[in-house]
Structure 1
């Protein structure tokens, strides 16, 4: 199968290596083209870690060429780039193609659904609760893949074609997906924003100074307790909505294979097993610039919507805005495009079920 990958960072490179390893054909596209130049000139993509090998994914020079003939289109870049690339690819997506958002944030699937509906296009949109892989981009031709997750939550819009979305993901990426049947569940399934909030707050000076530090190693007992408290807020919102989402304990256990226990102990086990990864060596990290506006802001808004305020999430937004001298709430261009602040719960639930084509 031909898989079009939108992006050229660590997740996109890791995705391309995985797709090629599975015997499918990957094509990468970056709007700027800055990170795909070496690959476009014929240099191989070298993966190490959880995926080992040398691969030769194709490189497209436009969104139109990327999407032509692809069975699946995977959006694999930070959420602050989602609206821009969705605007670029939406004119070329055809009925029957499937778009996968890895990982989904800020109801970007609904924004894409609206654009496709305006064109009369019926294309399943699959939202993943997290990325299939984690890793670091070592150079313009190298990626270190830290993890290939064993379980990934997903939901398809519209839900009427959920079986189709799930089957395609399993065909391409293996039997590792759990269909949560609701885009709202996926909105509350991405643990990165809450986890990265605690990690970044606990290690901000390390990030600012550009130090080399072990991420899981520094999820100390105090940081671990903060992560657990943040998780309770998220789970409480899901409970009010009648949704099943994995806990932070499930996440670390299923993603990294460590025994259940307090979050700090689970992270120390990850570190001891060589799965802990390194923390950001810059304050200009997606742990803040992506996860605050496109993660914490969404959870906080959902908490207000169902009268279960997420006080710690709200505090995190204010703290990071003060630390960085920025209004992170205002930086979410997806929610602004959907007029999310004024959207009633019933309307949101209907859109998450049927997309814009069903309204």
Structure 2
């Protein structure tokens, strides 16, 4: 199968390495073209850590070239690039061609569904609750993969394509996927934004000063309690919609293969196992610039719609916006294009199952 990956960061490279090792044919398209210059010249992609591979990867000339002969398309880049990539892909997507969003943020699947409906094209949109891997780029042709997740939440828009989406993901990436009850469940299953809020907000000066610091090691009991309180807000919203989702403790256990305990204790166990890694060394970090507008803001919106206000999430947006001297929620370019903020909970739940 030919899998076209739209994006060229660490996650995209990790997916390409995984797929190539599994016998599939990955293609990478870099929207800017900058990241893939070395790979375009014929150098091999090197992955180390949880994935050990030296593989050739085809680099697409443009988005049309990437999609032309694809059996599957994957969107794998930070959420602030999703709308741009979707807009570039829309003219080339054809009936029935599956699109996987890794990972889903800010109702991007609804934006894709809306654009496809205008072209009268129908296809399964498969959404993941988080990424398959955690990874850092070590150069233009090399990544370090810290972990490959044992379990990954998945759903499909429209909901009646759920089995098709699940089977596709299993064929490509193995028996690790857990079906969730539609797009709304996935939208409430991405725990990275809330976790990164706790980590980044309470370690912001370390980031700003460029220190080298242990990310998991600095999830102290105080930081852990803050993350647990953020999680309680998310779980209350999910309960209102009758949507089962994982707890933050289950997330850490399944992602890093550690026994369930408090958030802080689990992070210390991750460090003990040598999987912790370092935190961001700049405040120009996706932990804030991606996760605040595209992760926290949708949760705040769902809190308002459901009558379960996410006060800590909203406070995090306000505090970080003040610290950055800018309105971070204004960076979200997907929600304004959807017009769903004024919807009732039942109408939104229906839209998240059927699409546009």
Q: Indicate the TM-score class for this superposition, using the shorter chain for normalisation.
A: over 0.9
Structure 2 residue aligned with 1:170: 170
- Number of the residue aligned with 1:279: 279
| Preserved contact between residue 111 and residue 334 of structure 1 (Cα < 8 Å) | yes
Structure 1 residue 75, shift from structure 2 partner: 0.4
**Paired residues, number:** 356
The aligned counterpart of 2:179 is 179
Q: Could you tell me whether the CA contact under 8 Å between 1:28 and 1:60 is conserved in 2?
A: yes
Question: Is the Cα–Cα contact under 8 Å of residues 36 and 140 in structure 2 kept in the other structure?
Answer: yes
1:157 is displaced (CA, Å) by 0.3
Contact 2:305–2:343 (CA<8 Å) still a contact in 1?
no
SS in 2 for 1:54: strand
Question: C-alpha distance in 2, partners of 1:353/1:14?
Answer: 30
The 3-state SS of whatever aligns with 1:224 is helix
Query: In the alignment, which residue of structure 2 is the partner of 1:221?
Result: 221
Q: Secondary structure at the match of 1:261?
A: coil
Counterparts of 2:342 and 2:294, CA distance in 1: 17
Structure 2 regions of 5+ residues with no counterpart? none
Q: For residues 33 and 173 of structure 2, what CA distance do their matches in structure 1 show?
A: 26
Give the C-alpha shift of residue 347 in structure 1: 2.6
- Residue aligning to 2:66: 66
The aligned residue for residue 308 of structure 1 is 308
Q: CA deviation at 1:328?
A: 1.4
Q: 1:251 corresponds to which residue?
A: 251
> For residues 181 and 63 of structure 1, what CA distance do their matches in structure 2 show?
31
Question: 1:54: Cα distance to partner?
Answer: 0.6
CA positional deviation for 1:69: 1.8
Determine the structure 1 residue equivalent to 2:350.
350
Counterparts of 2:263 and 2:149 in 1: how far apart (Å)? 18
Shift of 1:238: 0.2
The residue number in structure 1 matching 2:192 is 192
Q: What is the correspondence of 1:287-298 to structure 2 with a 5 Å cutoff?
A: 287-298=287-298
User: For each residue in 1:181-236, what CA deviation from the matched residue of structure 2 results, as whole angstroms up to 9, or x when unmatched?
Assistant: 21011010000010000000111111001111111001001000000000001001
CA distance, structure 2, for counterparts of residue 190 and residue 181 of structure 1? 14
Detail structure 1 runs of 4+ shifted over 4 Å in the superposition: none
What's 2:325 paired with? 325
Contact 2:16 2:28 (C-alpha < 8 Å) held by counterparts: yes
The corresponding residue for 1:8 is 8
* TM-score normalised to structure 1 length: 0.98
1:210 is paired with a residue of what secondary structure? coil
| Structure 1: unaligned runs, 5 residues or longer | none
TM-score using structure 2 length: 0.99
User: C-alpha separation between the residues in 1 aligned to 2:292 and 2:252?
Assistant: 21
1:72 Cα offset (Å): 1.0
Measure the CA separation in 1 of the matches of 2:9 and 2:259: 31
C-alpha distance in 1, partners of 2:22/2:96? 22
| Map of 1:30 onto structure 2 | 30
CA shift, 1:171, in A, is 0.3
Aligned to 1:146: 146
Aligned to 1:119: 119
Provide Cα deviations, 1:130-157, integer angstroms capped at 9, x if missing partner.
0001100001000000110010001100
CA apart distance, 1:340: 2.7
